[in-house]
Amino acid sequence: MAANHTIHGGDHRHLAWDNSTPPAMTVAPGDIVQFDDLDATSGQLSAQSTVDDIRAMDFSLINPIAGPVYVDGAEPGDALKVTLLEFEPNDWAWTAIVPGFGLLADDFPEAALHIWSYDNTFDNPGMYGDDARVPMKPFCGTIGVAPGEAGAFSTVPPTSSGGNMDIRDLSAGTELYLPVSVPGALFSIGDSHCAQGDGEVCGTAIESPLGAVVKFELSKGENLKFPRFVTPGPVTRHLDGKGYEVTTGIGPDLMEASKDAVRGMIDRLGASRGLSPERAYMLCSVCADMRISEIVDTPNWVVSCYLPRIVFE
């Protein structure tokens, strides 16, 4: 679908949510904007990168966002409706274990890196070496609007205004509604992914510099407290075909149960597929889904890690 406007991520990149940041452009409800050159590292990694580049990364440049876009007529109390129309591929991506980051940071203190190549479309799975083939489902991990509070806020944690939510179902066709806190909403987007499992457990997905095309509309007076979204159809069918390997964690703390479920899957992939712990951990991050299976039978809750068997076919 033809865009009314284009924003180049490299030219309009910022590293904080701040309602005093001047807008990159002003658009009208109904307008379509194409965001080019979205990237999660401010250009610090390339298809030729090695694990040394992970160790040397400047983390003050991580998770830049492109924008902001001022939407005419958006007022506090409205919802900004963002329809995600399409994503434009590159031909390379990366997944990494970053020391000190991720669900199992204490278990994996050393850096690791996998560089993916894919065929300049999202039609075919990405190759995880000889170990697995991961179907593509592009989306942007960071998508949101400026907060109502004054000041600069990190783009790393999500907030009630959206941000780094890493919801893999914010893919093409989805309609996202964001609570507007300032005039114009001041929308920004970044952290483009080719695919991710629910939970992004190692802290990175299949990260790739992509383009995104979105349409802006307003839902007046919704008074949302948090973002909501509507998907155009099933959200897991692209992975369902061969069933799942599932491991669980059980206990009184959801975070610890989540860690135990992932540890169980790492052990399972080592025993059944011969994957090293590091490669198993990164594979879980890009395609395994974390689910709260039970949260009512006090004092213990159940978290499950679902890894699609189709990636090995």
> Mind listing the domains of the chain with CATH numbers?
5-230 (2.60.120.580), 239-312 (3.10.28.20)
Collapsing DSSP to helix, strand or coil, 54 comes out as helix
CA angle 103, 108, 143 (to 5 degrees): 40
d(CA 268, CA 272): 6
pLDDT bucket at 1, cuts 50 / 70 / 90: low
Per-residue pLDDT, 9: 74
Q: pLDDT tens digits for 197-223?
A: 999 999 999 999 999 999 999 999 999
* pTM score: 0.95
3-state secondary structure of 153: strand
Residue tagged 């155009």 (tokens): 232
- Is the bond preceding residue 299 a cis peptide, omega within 30 degrees? yes
CA dihedral for 158, 161, 166, 167, sign (positive or negative): positive
Averaged pLDDT, 249-260? 97
pLDDT of residue 218: 98
DSSP three-state, residue 228: strand
| Maximum distance among all Cα pairs of the chain, rounded to whole angstroms | 57
Place of tokens 């040394």: 52
User: For a pLDDT cut of 70, what percent of the chain falls above it?
Assistant: 100
Closest C-alpha among 122, 125, 139 to residue 173: 139
